[in-house]
Structure 1
Amino acid sequence: MSDEQQHAPAAETRAFEADVARLLHLMVHSVYSDKDVFLRELISNAADACEKLRHRALVDPTAYGDDSALKVVVETDATAGRLVVSDNGVGMSRDELVENLGTIARSGTRAFLEATASTGDGSGLIGQFGVGFYSAFMVAKEVVVESRAAGAEEAWTWRSDGTGAFTVEPAGDDAPARGTRVTLVLADDAKEFAEEARIERIIKHYSAHVPIPVFVKAKDAAAEKEVVDGTALWVKPKSEISQEEYKEFYSFVSGHWDQPALTIHYRAEGRQEYSVLLFVPETRPFDLFEPERRGKIRLYVRRVFITDDAELLPSWLRFVRGVIDSQDLPLNLSREMLQNNPLLASIRKAVTNRILSELEKLAENDAEAYAKVWEAFGAVLKEGIYEDGERRDALYKLTRFHTTADTTGWRTLSDYVADMRENQTAIFYAIGDDAEKVAASPQLEGYRARGIEVLLLTDPVDSFWVQAAVGFEGKPFQSVTQGKADLEAIPLLDEAGEKEEPARAGDLATLTALFKQHLGERVSDVRPSERLASSAACLVAPDLGPDRQFERLMARQAEGRGRIPPVLELNPRNRLVRALAEKASAGGAADQLNEAADLLLASAEILDGEAPSDPAAFNARLLAMMEQAFAAGGPSEG
């Protein structure tokens, strides 16, 4: 008797974990539009189990035992209303049955529940979130799983009606010799899924490109009928593959049920030989921004499945799905060899460059299709600008931006450089959370008055890649909220003529000195502004300090991190500033000038998207000013 049998009860009933229980309730009571997907998921799981055994047999040839012909069999019994999906793959132990099917809510379970709540119909999301097994409860009133792990003596049975609990117990004498058998006792309204013709149609539609043969056998049939031959799609010539076949295979490898935005299929020959079949989705995977940033490319060696988590692409291409099949790698690849193999490194470099080339072609030939890709994955591609200096120029060609010239459409860096103003030497950008709000910030007034286009950067990664960006076509990137603007050499537009005379230089120098003395360490400096056109004041980062938005982002990530005091810039042409400068030069009341300094700093903080540094004091000053303006019963009439 094995240790597993000695320490496990003969039969045990357990409750599902909370998220799994919610998921099962959803499946049992589902009104999903496409219930056929349950069979796709069960066959996919069965094929994965066969591929895992094939991989194990590379280092342990005895893993096959007497049965090396891997296959998936779907048995129909219309009379009894049953459907059985079995495989002779790697199988599961008792603990694996418990872990995989009931007590551990996998990372995708909650995400699936949230996505379904927002869409209303989750049948197209099931594969994407890794909850495929549970979809059996859309059509079954009871599910029985019998499994024997490869090489194990004992077999175990898992069963549940999907209403909150499951039972695990030793399997009977008719348990699989190896692998897993899933029996569905079909619900009264799902009996059609026991009809052989219906099952064949579903398999051909959803699972035609599973890399393991799939057979169908009716209850009283003499033999199994092969429905899927297990031929790898990626080794076939492109001319022999239809768009529908590509779409079906994309759904199989990605779990997505949308259309791929880009299909990349080719065979590399020469010093290395390998086949590539990759897809760029139209929509974001739910786990795109998980901290691990792992890719989902399947690695095969001579059609033998090796792993689905080899680092075959850089993390900034983790949205790409598909298969790479090498003819040269050793079959007994260890994890260490995967990480340090020069052949894999060469494949990774070549395939990465090919993907960038194909994306560039898509952008040139179908701007609308590429715009969808950029909207879904632009934030991830921009990680490459920060992390991959070797491909920075190639990624620059792919980047798209909302700008002050077009806040809703997309502009390229080439578009920007072509439209630069006379004497403009830098590519200007502004960082924030919303393009329209950023475009309306006072720091952009002087740029707008001169017709200077500004990139509006609203992804969190933007704060990082611009730090590493050395420039484009010889033009450096420059933040509009960092350092001096240096805009004198760029003429104002005719319609933005200078309508107000600036404050006298001497008066302004007196005012900025008084403000700096009063505000003290709350600001790094107080100075006249070239970037303001109408507003009285704004905040910018010091010349050698980080961009304001980048500093805010870093402060949120590192609690307690100190921040560099900003520079308060005053607009010399603003009537309020001009009046204050004249008052300061004439020796006006210090307390009034100090109040003005405090109020201008607080208003600049608000315009910068922050609360005043001292909200209570700001509120008191504001109320006092209102009382003074509306004294004696309110403003005079007439």
Structure 2
Amino acid sequence: MDNAFQVDLRGVVDLLSRHLYSSPRVYVRELLQNAADAITARRAADPDAPATVTIEATGGLISVRDTGIGLTEDEVHALLATIGRSSKRDELGFARHEFLGQFGIGLLSGFLVADEISVETRSAKGGPTVLWTGRSDGRYRVELAPADRAEPGTTVTLRTRHDAAEWAAPRTVAELAELYGSLLPVDVTVNGRRTTLGTPPWRAAHPSPDARRRALQAHCEELFGFVPLDVVDLNVPEAGLTGVAYILPAPANPAVRGTHRVYLKRMLLTETADGLLPDWAFFARCVVDAAELRPTASREALYEDDLLDHTREELGRRLRAWLVRLAETDPAGLRAFLNLHHLGVKALALHDDDMLRLVDQWLEYETSSGPMTLAQFRLRHPGGRYTTSVDEFRQLAAVSGAQGVGLVNGGYVYDSEILARLRRIDPGAVLDRLEPAELATHLGPADPDAELRARPFLTAAARALDPLGCEVVLRDFDPASLPALYLTSRAAQHHADLREARDTGDALWADVLGALERSVAADRPRLVLNHRNPLVRRVTGLPDLTLAATAVEALYGMALLHGHHPLRPADTATLNRSFLGLLDWAVQGGTHD
């Protein structure tokens, strides 16, 4: 025998309050939604029907009166007594386009603040006024109202519980009605004060574009607390979406997803929607109204589907088109924007050639010749190079610049990928990554006589640094203030990493890594001593080769620190030993034999 499900309404209310709705305050939104939908249904048959919602809040009693289509007694039994049944879905169960609600649970939100809900309603189709009274324990009663309403419509009345008194305060009810329903196309009043604007600010008529811009800037400041750098109109016809994007006037954290204000059919869905824009567009905050996007059952978020994906892509295209237009019409405005939000544009440039051109032409990079755009850098340094780390750039910029090798700092986020993609927009753009060891070939050789005199010193220096896997060479280069330069290649760094892993691993891994190390070409790092530096010239002339070796170890440690290279335990020990050795020599007055 088939049996019908029994529903524990108190359990359902607990489910709504704890798991579906984020706060009891949504009861105002749900009551407004039902009232607006009832008015929409009546106006479909009678376009001249009044469109008003009157809310009275006093003494813990809240009533919401609308001029909507109302319900017959049969509809009251069918719709109000069955959880999940709604008149706002078609015969196939799909949401009807013109209505805000669709899930048949909106009225239950009243039980978040009250134990009893009464609905007095008269249908525009005819019939008497019906009174439905429901309680949170699941009981309900349907009867004829004591007096007939003069006009069709519905009045919902809540007598709030003592523990929900804060949600029934007149000021709170007015604020919530204004928050959720300020853009509704009906007149909503709370205790005699109108809370609706009527027309969304971005669709309001203004005498001039400047006046419209000022009005939207004021709207942004009221909603978000900042005056936007610019305002971008948004329009996605497939989603029935219109609105504006406000460009942040200060740098934003790209790791924090921006939140947006979303209305559905002019009823506020959420103030904190995320995922409406592509991740790269973290520099914008949106206010939009959509007719076709789907809400979740709680009506506090957007449902992820193909239409939302399409909307996100289209909004990204709108912002991208705004950037391109800004580059063409307002270069100063574009520079101001890039100074603040270059990360978002860089992220877009990774897969968009137009944005890559914009970055190439307008965004300044740190180079060995000072700040300049990539296009300017390529003109000045046709055979330029770039580094993939900030520390490497800082170590090598002065040296490479002095040798005529242009260098771009590609160590910040997205930069190295952008530099590698430049060939997509300019096949002649040759910007290769700098191999630090390659720079040694651009450094001039020392004077042959000086190198001959320094041969004993170089032999002692090579012996001191050989255990550290480093070679010593003498060169003559600018800037003269730099005594030593530590240069290593990627192959040498890989070789060093293998050796360190072998030394710290267990016996089995030591054998495996040792075999790998032997298979890798032994490309050793170099300590390049600058003979043009006065200190280096004095060190190479030291008669005490033991002291000279200690000095070279100190220069080696200083070059590692200057280049922000990681220090291995052996490097740290060498640096400490050389420092103590030189300190001991200085304390004893340089009298070592």
TM-score (norm 1): 0.52
User: Quick one: distance in 2 between partners of 1:503 and 1:568?
Assistant: 22
Q: Deviations over 1:262-304 (max 9, x none)?
A: 11115466x887535212110245xx344xx534345666656
The 1:590–1:319 alpha-carbon spacing in structure 2 relative to 1, beyond 3 Å, is same
Aligned counterparts of 1:501 and 1:485: Cα–Cα separation in 2:
19
Q: Does 1:416 align with 2:377?
A: yes
Residue 283 of structure 1 aligns with which residue? 250
* 2:581 corresponds to 1:624: yes
Deviation at 1:447, TM superposition (A): 3.0
- How far apart are the structure 1 equivalents of 2:302 and 2:283? 24
Q: Structure 2: which amino acid aligns with 1:599?
A: A
The 8 Å contact of residues 503 and 573 in structure 1, kept in 2 or not, is answered as: no
The answer on whether the counterparts of 1:74 and 1:215 sit within 8 Å (CA) in structure 2 is: no
Q: Which residue of 2 aligns with 1:568?
A: 526
1:233 corresponds to: 201
RMSD: 6.0
Q: Which amino acid aligns with 1:621?
A: S
> What is the SS of the residue equivalent to 1:316?
coil
Q: If you compute each CA radius of gyration, which structure gives the higher value, 1 or 2?
A: 2
Corresponding residue of 1:132: none
2:213 is equivalent to residue 243 of structure 1: yes
1:608 corresponds to 2:563: yes
1:536 match: 483
1:432 aligns with: 390
* Number of the residue aligned with 1:151: 108
Once the two structures are superposed, what CA deviation does each residue of 1:216-263 show, in whole Å capped at 9, x if it has no partner? 555xxxxx24253342234456758623321233246xx532211111
Taking the TM superposition and a 5 Å limit, the aligned residue runs for 1:334-373 are: 339=304, 341=306, 344-363=308-327, 365-367=329-331, 369-373=333-337
Q: Report the Cα distance in structure 1 between the residues aligned to 2:447 and 2:438, rounded to whole angstroms.
A: 21
SS at match of 1:317: coil
SS at match of 1:258: coil
Structure 1: runs of 5 or more not aligned:
9-43, 63-68, 89-147, 158-169, 186-192, 219-223, 490-497, 548-561
- Greater RCO, 1 or 2 (C-alpha within 8 Å, sep 6+): 1
1:263 to 2:254 alignment = no
Are the aligned partners of 1:360 and 1:398 in contact in 2 as well (CA < 8 Å)? Answer: no
Deviation of residue 476 (structure 1)? 4.0
Could you give the per-residue CA deviations for residues 522-579 of structure 1, whole angstroms, max 9, x where no partner exists? 45765667985322222344145889xxxxxxxxxxxxxx9x9983340454355567
Residues 47, 211 of structure 1: 8 Å contact kept: no
Q: Distance in 1 between matches of 2:453 and 2:446?
A: 16
Deviation at 1:606, TM superposition (A): 1.7
Shift, 1:448, TM fit: 3.1
Residues 111-160 of structure 1: per-residue CA shift (max 9 Å, x gap) = xxxxxxxxxxxxxxxxxxxxxxxxxxxxxxxxxxxxx9741573448xxx
Which residues of 2 match residues 98-247 of structure 1 at below 5 A? 150-152=107-109, 154-156=111-113, 174-175=159-160, 182=167, 217=190, 224-236=192-204, 242-247=212-217
Which of residues 21, 25, 29 in structure 2 aligns to 1:50?
Answer: 29
Matches within 5 A, 1:322-337: 322-325=286-289, 329=292, 331=294
Write out per-residue CA displacement over residues 73-120 of structure 1, whole angstroms, 9 at most, x where no aligned residue: 697x9xxxx9999999xxxxxxxxxxxxxxxxxxxxxxxxxxxxxxxx
Q: How many residues align?
A: 449
Change (3 A) 1:152 1:594: same
Alpha-carbon distance in structure 2 between the residues aligned to 1:49 and 1:451: 71
- Matched-pair contact (CA < 8 Å) for 1:400–1:413: yes
Distance 1:232-1:545 versus aligned 2 partners, 3 A rule = farther
Pairs within 5 Å for 1:502-581: 518-520=464-466, 522-523=468-469, 533-534=479-480, 535-543=482-490, 567-575=525-533
Query: Structure 2 CA distance, aligned partners of 1:303 and 1:367?
Result: 36
- Give the whole-Å Cα distance in 1 for the aligned partners of 2:13 and 2:560: 69
How much does 1:624 deviate?
Answer: 2.3
1:280–1:319 CA contact under 8 A, matched in 2? yes
Aligned with 1:315: secondary structure?
coil
Work out whether residues 404 and 455 of structure 1, in 8 Å CA contact, stay in contact via their aligned partners in 2.
yes
Q: How does 1:371-382 map to 2 (within 5 A)?
A: 371-382=335-346
SS of corresponding position for 2:286? strand
For residue 314 of structure 1, the aligned residue among 278, 284, 307 is 278
- Aligned counterparts of 1:369 and 1:430: Cα–Cα separation in 2: 30
Cα 1:413–1:208 shift into 2, 3 Å: farther
Unaligned 5+ segments in structure 2 are 1-7, 16-22, 42-50, 66-104, 115-135, 137-156, 495-512, 514-519
CA distance in 2, matches of 1:471, 1:569: 38
- Measure, in 1, the Cα distance between the counterparts of 2:321 and 2:243: 15
1:430-509 superposed matches below 5 A: 431-432=389-390, 441-450=394-403, 454-456=407-409, 459-460=412-413, 462=415, 473=426, 474-478=428-432, 482-485=436-439, 488=442, 501=447
Matched to 1:608, the amino acid is G
CA distance in 1, matches of 2:205, 2:261: 20
**Structure 1, 505-514 or 468-477: larger mean CA deviation:** 505-514
The CA distance in 2 between the partners of 1:85 and 1:465, in whole Å, is 60
Identity of aligned residues (%): 14
Deviation of the 1:392 alpha carbon: 3.7
Give me the whole-angstrom Cα distance separating, in 2, the residues matched to 1:85 and 1:400: 60
Measured after TM superposition, the shift of residue 360 of structure 1 is 4.0
Structure 1 SS opposite 2:526: strand
Determine the structure 2 residue equivalent to 1:35.
none
TM-score by length of 2: 0.55
Change (3 A) 1:510 1:367: farther
Q: 1:611 to 1:581 in 2, by over 3 A?
A: same
User: Residue 365 of structure 1: CA displacement?
Assistant: 4.8
Match of residue 106 from structure 1: none
The structure-2 alpha-carbon separation of the partners of 1:624 and 1:74, relative to structure 1 and needing over 3 Å to count, comes to farther
